[in-house]
Amino acid sequence: MTTGDDRLRIVLHDGAEALGEAQQATAAFLRGRGAGPRTAARAELLLEELALNALRHGFAAGGTPEVVVTAWHDGARCGLDLEDRGAPFDPTTAALPPAPGSIRDAPIGVPLLRRIAAELAYERTADGRNRLHLVLPAEDAAIG
Amino acid sequence: MELLVVDGADASKRLVLAGRLDAAGTETVEVAFAAQARAARGHALVDMTAVSFVGSLGIRMLISAARAADRAGIRFVIFGAQPAVAEVFRTTAVDELIAILPDEAAARAQLRA
């Protein structure tokens, strides 16, 4: 984990404990730079969803799951950048599951991301990395 | 993450969660939580007053338990969510799938209705 004035960089491998520590460090970093509690909570929620998805589903068996998370705050806006070398996955265009008509069909991941993020940009880099840039909404912005 | 189970005189169970329901917290309690929710004979009331964070795995745990309860004819309600947790429930539309009430009195009133 490395911290600059406006950035916190964390390298994650599979492990729920480490992810929990990363979530809390991200929230503390954002709060320390002026983000409100809702913004910090949204960052934690999206970090868990995105990192778990990449670490547990993005890598072939025998591979070494790794996600690099950068939390950032530029004084006006804040968000998360995630990079990994897993299978290509673009959450900005992935098909949404059907709307939940019952408990059985409740979707969470991609709809959650799209509902919360104020801006979302995905790139598959030439050297084979997923790169997601996510801007969090303003503290008082209604979600959903 | 901690789970405390209080058996009610009316065969209901109050499942009290405390701590962070993040990935690690969920993995700590999910097996016991599911078993206890299934073991409720009438109602399962989930007390989230002391839960400061709910992540995606925690949401899935709650939905899975509610689904199992529904199949078994057990009424499953959640109460006491803190504002940040309540926002997660709204954002993920969990509140459209599971009855979520502000406090225990409201939850019990819902179950009596």
Residue B93's pLDDT is 83
CB contact under 8 A, B60 and A108: yes
Instruction: Find the CB nearest B22 among A23, A116, A143.
Output: A23
The pLDDT value recorded for residue A96 is: 64
Inspect the interface and report whether the beta carbons of B84 and A112 lie closer than 8 Å. Answer: no
Instruction: Write out pLDDT tens, residues A27-46.
Output: 999 999 999 998 999 999 99
* Selected residue of B56, B90, B97 to mutate for chain A interface (largest A Cβ count, 10 A): B56
- Nearest residue of B to residue A47 by CA position? B55
Question: Pick from A51, A122, A112, A136: which is nearest to A88 by CA?
Answer: A122
Q: Is the confidence at residue B10, as pLDDT, over 70? A: yes
Question: Which pLDDT band, with edges at 50, 70 and 90, does A98 fall under?
Answer: low
| CB contact A96 to B (< 8 Å) | no
pLDDT higher than 50, residue A57: yes
> Does B79 have pLDDT greater than 60?
yes
Confidence of residue B112 (pLDDT cuts 50, 70, 90): confident
A interface mutation test: which of B21, B26, B53, B95 has the most A CBs within 10 A? B53
Q: Does A97 lie at the interface with B, CB-CB under 8 angstroms? A: no
Q: Over pLDDT 90: what percentage of chain B?
A: 73
Higher pLDDT pick, A103 / B23: B23
| Residues found in chain B | 113
The pair of structure tokens assigned to B31 is 């097996």
What are B83-111's pLDDT values in tens digits? Answer: 989 988 988 888 888 999 999 999 999 88
Per the rule left: phi > 0, alpha: psi between -120 and 50, beta: everything else, A15 is left
Residue A117 clears pLDDT 90, i.e. is over it = yes
Q: Cβ distance B23 to A20 under 8 Å? A: yes
Question: Which residues are A114's β-sheet partners?
Answer: none
Judged by a CB distance cut-off of 8 A, whether residue A144 touches chain B is yes
Alpha-carbon torsion (B87, B90, B94, B96), positive or negative: positive
pLDDT at site A104: 45
Query: Does the pLDDT of residue A110 top 70, yes or no?
Result: yes
Mean pLDDT, chain B, as a whole number? Answer: 92
Higher pLDDT, B81 or A38: B81
| Chain A to chain B Cβ contacts (< 8 Å) | 76
Of all residues in chain B, the one with the smallest CA distance to A36 is B84
| B-chain residues near A112 (CB < 8 A) | 56, 91-92
User: pLDDT at residue A144 above 90?
Assistant: no
Residue A36: per-residue pLDDT: 92
Q: Is the dihedral of CA B81, B85, B87, B93 positive or negative?
A: negative
Q: Can you tell me the ipTM of this complex?
A: 0.82
Say what the pLDDT of residue B1 is: 95
Label residue A97 by pLDDT band (50, 70, 90). Answer: low
| pLDDT tens for each residue of B53-74 | 999 899 999 999 999 999 899 9
Task: Determine the average pLDDT of the residues in B16-43.
Answer: 94
Instruction: Give the gap in angstroms from C-alpha A19 to the nearest C-alpha of chain B.
Output: 7
Comparing A1 with B112, the larger pLDDT belongs to B112
